[in-house]
Amino acid sequence: MKFLFVGTNPENTGGATHFVALAQALIESGHEVHVVTCAGGLIAQSLAQSSASLHYAAFRNAFDARGCRDVLAVAKQVRPHWLVGNFGKEYWPLVIIGRWLRVPVALFRHRTPPMKRLSAYGIPRLATRFFAVSEYARQAYLDRGIPDALVHVLYNPVNLSKCLPDPARCCAIRHALGISDDAIVLGYAGRMHGGKGIFTLIEAATAAMAEEPRLHCLWLGDGPEAAALRARAAAGPKADRHHFLGWIHDVGSYYSAMSVLAFPSIASETFGRVSIEAQAAGVPVIASQVGGVPETLHAGVTGLLLPPGDVESWRNAITMMCNEDFRRPMAEAARPYVQERFSTKVIAEAFVRKLTS
């Protein structure tokens, strides 16, 4: 099957990461993939070494005539079996181009806040397939009146080859940070702002450090409250056991250095890619029971679900995870769980099946 993906957002967002992962999944499954994207952006950089054919355009908004013209030209040249879009400003242009060329259109919605009234009504009904990335998100759209039959679910795929348990890499990262090989490393990867639950996590982790001298925290990411988080760690009694690395483009190689991943969001999350990436690397997860996050792990088997914002519950869970006999079975179950539900092969097959059914 031949696909034309259209995604001209230059930013590093969850939608962009999904766009890249799905395109790569289809390529690995033997499909032909063409991509219209922004030159120099994350999508172009990530797909540059793949067999995807890259074309360049930009959309300032849904009414950008130049962007529509450029995508229409590529679509006429490629003649895809499906047009695929991930970003709101390209929904209407793709629907119109698809109707013009009689090419079916698959659109993904990664956020649960409502679209504008016309788009909220028209896009799910005019797209050939409209996808949510979790059952939680799907229910949010149904609650707003979108008919049940029009909203499909396709989870984010994860490339298992990029998230591997790697003992050598684990040792190298830990030694560079002055962390001993027998340490227990609690990792966080993501944006640093209050809605992500970072202050709950640092309070709970610091309290757990008082009970477990081998416990360290590895913080990956940046954001508007990164400085406040660093200041809180520096003012605490265990400052030397909080390690801040800032923004890391290739987070996959750092999962091996973690014993456990924390996903402590307080605000609702549509899904939670870092949870499945960590499990793919054999790392169990402790996560907030909020939004679509529970769909990313097998509670009690590959990780734990906790009440968001509850410092005492998080402290207790972190302490439990410091027990190797408790943690090891979850670590062993994590990668097979991801392979069965979220691997690129599984998601690519599910996508094609939903398009053709």
pLDDT at 11: 74
> For the domain bounded by 2-157+342-356, which CATH number is listed?
3.40.50.2000
- Residues 107, 110, 114, 116, Cα dihedral to 10°: -40
Distance separating alpha carbons of residues 140 and 78, to the nearest angstrom: 35
- How buried is 88 (Cβ within 10 angstroms: 0-12 exposed, 13-18 middle, 19+ buried)? buried
pLDDT at 334: 98
Task: Give how far Cα 344 sits from Cα of 13, 272, 347, Å.
Answer: 19, 16, 5
DSSP state of 282: T
pLDDT at 234: 93
pLDDT at 115: 87
- Best CATH choice for the domain 160-341 from the list 3.30.70.1280, 3.60.15.10, 2.60.40.10, 3.40.50.2000: 3.40.50.2000
Report pTM: 0.92
24 close to 49: Cβ distance less than 8 angstroms: no
Same fold, 2-157+342-356 and 160-341: yes
Distance separating alpha carbons of residues 292 and 269, to the nearest angstrom: 6
Residue extents of the structural domains in the chain: 2-157+342-356, 160-341
pLDDT at 316: 98
123 close to 242: Cβ distance less than 8 angstroms: no
Closest CA to 324 of 185, 159, 229: 185
pLDDT at 217: 97
Distance separating alpha carbons of residues 9 and 180, to the nearest angstrom: 41
pLDDT at 248: 86
Question: From first to last of its 357 residues, what are the pLDDT tens digits of the chain?
Answer: 999 999 998 877 778 888 999 999 999 999 999 999 998 888 998 899 899 999 999 888 888 899 999 999 999 999 999 999 999 999 999 999 999 999 999 999 988 888 888 999 999 999 999 999 999 999 999 999 999 999 999 999 998 988 989 999 999 999 999 999 999 999 999 999 999 999 999 999 999 999 999 999 999 999 999 999 999 999 989 899 999 999 887 888 899 999 999 999 999 999 999 999 999 999 999 999 999 999 999 999 999 999 999 999 999 999 999 999 999 999 999 999 999 999 999 999 999 999 998
pLDDT at 112: 83
Which residues make Cβ contacts (< 8 Å) with residue 201, sequence separation at least 6?
A: 188, 217, 262, 264, 314
DSSP state of 243: E
pLDDT at 227: 96
Beta bridge partners of 217: 186, 242
Task: Give how far Cα 351 sits from Cα of 29, 155, 281, Å.
Answer: 11, 9, 24
Distance separating alpha carbons of residues 69 and 264, to the nearest angstrom: 43
State residue 254 phi and psi, 5-degree precision. Answer: -90, -15
Other beta carbons within 10 Å of 114: 11
208 close to 315: Cβ distance less than 8 angstroms: yes
Phi-psi region of 178 (alpha: psi -120 to 50; beta: other; left: phi over 0): left
